[in-house]
Structure 1
Amino acid sequence: MLRWVLALFILIPALELVLLIQTGKWIGAWATLALLILSGLFGAYMAKREGKRVWDYAQFKLAKGELPTDSILDGICIFIGGALLLLPGFLSDIAGLLLLLPLTRGIAKLLVLRYITKRIGQGKIILFRR
Structure 2
Amino acid sequence: MWLFVLFVAVPLIEIALFIQVGGAIGLWPTLAVVVLTALLGTTLVRSQGLQAMNDLRGSFSELRDPSEALAHGAMILFSGALLLTPGFFTDAVGFALLIPPIRLAIMRYAKSRINVQKFEMGAGPQRRQPASDQTIDTAEYTDLDVAEPGPSSPSGWTKDPSRD
CA deviations 1:22-62 (Å, max 9, x no partner) are: 10110011000000001111111111111100111111121
Q: Which amino acid aligns with 1:74?
A: H
Bigger radius of gyration: 2
**Which residue of the other structure, out of 31, 34, 37, is the alignment partner of 2:35?**
37
Q: Which amino acid aligns with 2:65?
A: L
Q: Which amino acid aligns with 1:25?
A: G
In structure 1, the gaps of 5 or more residues are none
Shift of 1:113: 3.4
**Which residue of the other structure, out of 57, 62, 66, is the alignment partner of 1:68?**
66
* Aligned length, in residue pairs: 122
TM-score, normalization: structure 2?
0.67
Shift of 1:114: 4.1
Shift of 1:68: 1.6
Q: In percent, how many aligned pairs have the same letter? A: 30
Q: Which fold has the larger relative contact order, with Cα–Cα distance below 8 Å and residues 6 or more apart in sequence?
A: 1
Contact 1:99–1:108 (Cα < 8 Å) also in 2: no
Which secondary structure state, in structure 1, belongs to the residue aligned with residue 65 of structure 2?
A: coil
- Give the distance between the partners of 2:102 and 2:26, measured in 1 at CA: 31
Shift of 1:104: 1.8
**1:59 alignment partner in structure 2:** 57
Q: Which amino acid aligns with 1:96?
A: G
Shift of 1:19: 0.5
Over the aligned positions, Cα root-mean-square deviation in angstroms equals 2.0
Which secondary structure state, in structure 2, belongs to the residue aligned with residue 12 of structure 1?
A: helix
- Give the distance between the partners of 2:119 and 2:86, measured in 1 at CA: 37
TM-score, normalization: structure 1?
0.83
- Give the distance between the partners of 1:46 and 1:114, measured in 2 at CA: 29
Contact 1:73–1:112 (Cα < 8 Å) also in 2: no
Q: Which has more helix, going by share of residues?
A: 1
In structure 2, the gaps of 5 or more residues are 125-164
1:1-130 matched pairs, under 5 angstroms: 2=1, 4-115=2-113, 117-118=114-115
Which secondary structure state, in structure 1, belongs to the residue aligned with residue 64 of structure 2?
A: coil
- Give the distance between the partners of 2:30 and 2:104, measured in 1 at CA: 31
